[in-house]
Amino acid sequence: MARSFIYRRGGRTGEVSFNMTPLVDCTFLLILFFLLTSQMASESLARLEIARPRGSQAVQARMAARGVVINVLSAQDAPGGTAADGRAIAYLVDGRRIPAGDIEALTQLLRARASAEGTGRNLLVEVRADRRVHYGHVEPVLSAAAKAGVPRMNITAVAEPAR
Amino acid sequence: MEAMRERIQLASDRSLTRRPFRVGRGRDRSKIQPLLTPMIDVTFQLLLFLLLVGTFRPPEGQIPAVSPQRAGIALAQRDVAKPIVLTLRRTGDGVAYEMSGLGRRWTSPQELYTGLIACRESLGSDQVAVVVRPGQDVPWNNVVEAVNQAIRAKFRNVGIHPLSP
């Protein structure tokens, strides 16, 4: 018969011990769960507030199929930023930080990526802007992509959970 | 008698002795087992680390849109009919969505969605382009909201208008 939670060890009397095996099993299962479900920090994805539209039509894509991700960071997260600040502070592309407003540098980077792909039509650009940034500060990014010859782009938004 | 007492004493001393790494369990002395305590310690440390460091991010997805290129808008105009221009204006407490030509104005995404559905049904086509034209001070969240509602209303060609035409 299997011994339960507390059992007598060997033939000795008076010595009791916890059965550690189920405890270790559960702990390992929990660790495995966390390792598999958590998303590792990615160099191309900055921490920012993503737009959350009602009845989101956003489709989840695999990381490999995302192309060039342009992160537009909000000035609200910068030191001294206020809640009313709708400016962008920087663009983050492939781990490279470009100061907001330096559209020439952004266009050159996108052109280089487009030529690596053959033509801009093959390049997929994903605009991942902070939801609090005003359109006046995101539009130059969209225009830079258009100047680099990229006709279509994806906008990042929170996707609704699959049903 | 004395020898027997010594033997009993020796046996009880042995039973109290703890061997550091390998412990013979029970009567079967050939069975060895690693000490579990440090392993459990490390495992709990790992678990605590993952619990404290891990942050849960909402699932992200992509909404397809056309870049603000004049050529794209001209192409849309040539296609079927005049595009639906959706102007976004900042109001005191939020953003208003206005549809050109119809003179209609909505303030919530749900109203915008209903209006776009009605518009598509009256046009009888989903090929008509929808051009989202936001003001400079409109938050990006509302721009995404407008594009999302147009796609949700089953319009196939949705684009964003540049600030300087």
Q: Could you read off the pLDDT of B71-82 as tens digits, one per residue?
A: 444 444 455 567
pLDDT at B137 over 60: yes
In a domain, B59, yes or no: no
b/e map A87-117, b = 16+ CB within 10 Å:
bbbbbbbeeeebebeeeeebbebbbebbeee
In a domain, B62, yes or no: no
Residue B71 pLDDT: 41
Q: Are A1 and A8 in contact (CB under 8 A)?
A: no
Closest to A88 measured CA to CA, from B131, B136, B62 = B136
Contact residues, B window 76-115, toward A, CB-based 8 Å cutoff: 88, 109-110, 113
Partner residue opposite A159 with nearest CB, options B47, B60, B68: B60
| Mean pLDDT of the region B99-109 | 81
In a domain, A51, yes or no: no
Enumerate residues 6+ apart whose C-beta is below 8 A from B87.
B97, B98, B99, B100, B133, B134, B135
Residue A72 pLDDT: 93
Show the CA angle centred on residue A97, arms to residues A49 and A124, nearest 5°: 70
Residue B29 pLDDT: 57
Any chain B CB within 8 A of the CB of A115? no
What chain A residue is nearest to B69 in terms of C-alpha separation? A146
Residue B75 pLDDT: 46
CATH number at residue A127: 3.30.420.270
b/e map A13-23, b = 16+ CB within 10 Å:
eeeeeeeeeee
Same domain, B36 and B88: no
Beta-carbon separation of A156 and B149 below 8 A: no
Tokens 């130059």 found at: A140
Q: Which two tokens stand for residue B146?
A: 């407008």
Tally of domains within chain A: 2
- Name the more confident of A62 and B61: B61
The model carries a pTM of: 0.70
- Name the more confident of B29 and B114: B114
In a domain, A58, yes or no: no
Q: What is the DSSP letter of B64?
A: E
Burial of B146 per CB tally in 10 Å (0-12, 13-18, 19+): buried
Residue B10 pLDDT: 58
Structural domain for A22, as ranges: 6-37
pLDDT, tens digit, for every residue of A20-35? 788 888 888 888 887 7
Q: Which of A5-14, A120-129, B121-130 has the lowest mean pLDDT?
A: A5-14
**CA pair distance B24, A50, nearest whole angstrom:** 58
**CA pair distance B158, B35, nearest whole angstrom:** 64
Residues of chain B with Cβ-Cβ distance to A12 below 8 Å are: 15
Same domain, B98 and B128: yes
In a domain, B78, yes or no: yes
A66: pLDDT confidence band, cut at 50, 70 and 90? low
Any chain A CB within 8 A of the CB of B36? yes
Structural domain for B153, as ranges: 70-160
Closest to A153 measured CA to CA, from B67, B149, B147, B143 = B67
pLDDT, tens digit, for every residue of A80-120? 778 788 889 999 998 889 999 899 999 999 888 888 877 66
Q: Which of A81-90, B13-22, B57-66 has the lowest mean pLDDT?
A: B13-22
Number of Cβ within 10 Å of residue B157's Cβ equals: 19
**CA pair distance B7, A155, nearest whole angstrom:** 83
In a domain, A85, yes or no: yes
pLDDT, tens digit, for every residue of B141-165? 999 999 999 999 998 888 888 776 5
Beta-carbon separation of A56 and B148 below 8 A: yes
Same domain, B47 and B111: no
Same domain, B49 and B75: no
